[in-house]
Amino acid sequence: MAELQAGTPEESAFLAELIDARMLIGSGVPGLLGRGERFERIRAAVDALITRAGADEEPERMAFPPLIPRRQLEQIGYLKSFPHLAGSVFSFEGDEAAAAEQERKASLHQDWSEHQSQTDLVLTPAACYPVYPAIAARGPLPPEGVVVDAGGAYVFRHEPSGDPARLQMFHQREMVRIGAPEAVLDWRARWRDRAVELLRSIGLDARFDVANDPFFGRSGRMLARSQRAQELKFEVLVPIASPQPTAVASFNYHQEHFAEVHGLTIAASDGQPASAAHTACLGFGLERISLALLRAHGLELDRWPAEVRERLELT
């Protein structure tokens, strides 16, 4: 079980303020929060702002549920790198006697997991994951590749916390670029700079930095160092409630990883054999950006700076 990360006094106070203002709705489980009407207005406005920012690329739009086949998670090696974050779906398949025993234990809040069996589904940990097999199924891509907007899907990370910006279930607005290495790297760099400009335009103190994923274990520390050394991951950071700025957007370059897993290829323009595609993704944490806006401008939307409201079309 993931270790609970207790919130700092500042994080706890901000969370209490948000719940008291009915921006967020507590569930009794750390990191699992409902959203009030005004919070959802902000989140939807941020989502729409990102859509407008990327409209010039005319991306192909896809939408997926917050579940993926378990086999996909196994194929990409997620359980090697992030076993502490994964969430699996289990279900009951027993007889009436087992059902009655399960209910008895559940009514006493005892462990009833022995009556559950693993299904073929897992909770989606990154909104880009369903995109790669869907595109690969089409066969070789044209030389220019493709840009996909996977929308603002719910994703799950098992890291319960008292920090309101570290949720177990949250919306990740994901864009994916699949193509030749130069095109993919150029796209990621342009979106990195665009994201900083976008967030600054709504009054957030945004900056980007080289980062690494939270890989698991001793080998994970080596992977993290390698990821940083090759600058495969960038994050955009803004202040929320933690002592240090919080990542609200990330930009990952996967090189050929997903091509090797799913068979993604790019057709050559000169009749040569197709080559392995490179991929990159960017993800905006919609709840985190919304929280950063509330932290920067206050909980009363009608008192936000006029230019921020206009930029977000909240007027």
Q: Which pLDDT tens digits describe the chain residue by residue (315 residues)?
A: 445 567 899 999 999 999 999 999 999 999 999 999 999 999 999 999 999 999 999 999 999 999 999 999 999 999 999 999 999 999 999 999 999 999 999 999 999 999 999 999 999 999 999 999 999 999 999 999 999 999 999 999 999 999 999 999 999 999 999 999 999 999 999 999 999 999 999 999 999 999 999 999 988 899 999 999 999 999 999 999 999 999 999 999 999 999 999 999 999 877 777 899 999 999 999 999 999 999 999 999 999 999 999 999 997
User: Is residue 299 one of the residues assigned to a domain?
Assistant: yes
Same domain, 162 and 112: no
Residues 220 and 95 in one domain: no
d(CA 236, CA 284): 9
Looking at the structure, tell me whether residues 47 and 96 fall in a common domain: no
Has residue 108 been placed in a domain?
A: yes
Domain of 98, in residue numbers: 90-121
32 and 172 both lie in a single domain: yes
In a domain, residue 2? The reply is no
Q: How far apart are CA 72 and CA 122, in angstroms?
A: 9
Residues 233, 266, single domain; the answer is yes
Helices (H), the chain: 9-20, 37-53, 70-75, 78-81, 96-107, 131-136, 181-200, 217-229, 257-262, 286-297, 306-311
115 with 233, same domain?
Answer: no
Q: What is the DSSP letter of 161?
A: B
CB neighbour burial string for 101-118, b if at least 16 within 10 angstroms, e if fewer: ebeeeeeeeeebeebeee
Same domain, 156 and 62: yes
In a domain? residue 211: yes
Look at residue 182 and tell me if it is in a domain: yes
Q: Give domain status of residue 1, yes or no.
A: no
Give 246's DSSP letter: E
Looking at residue 46, which CATH number applies to its domain?
A: 3.30.930.10
Residue 186 lies in a domain: yes
208 and 280: one domain?
Answer: yes
**Within this chain, do residues 183 and 132 fall inside the same structural domain, yes or no?**
yes
Q: Are residues 96 and 152 in the same domain?
A: no
Number of domains in the chain: 2
Report whether 293 contacts 49 (CB < 8 A): no
**Which of 101, 121, 141 is the last residue in one of the domains?**
121
98 in the same domain as 17: no
CA gap 185, 139 in Å, rounded? 22
Q: Are residues 94 and 243 in the same domain?
A: no
End-of-domain residue from the set 121, 137, 171: 121
Task: Note whether residue 4 is domain-resident.
Answer: no
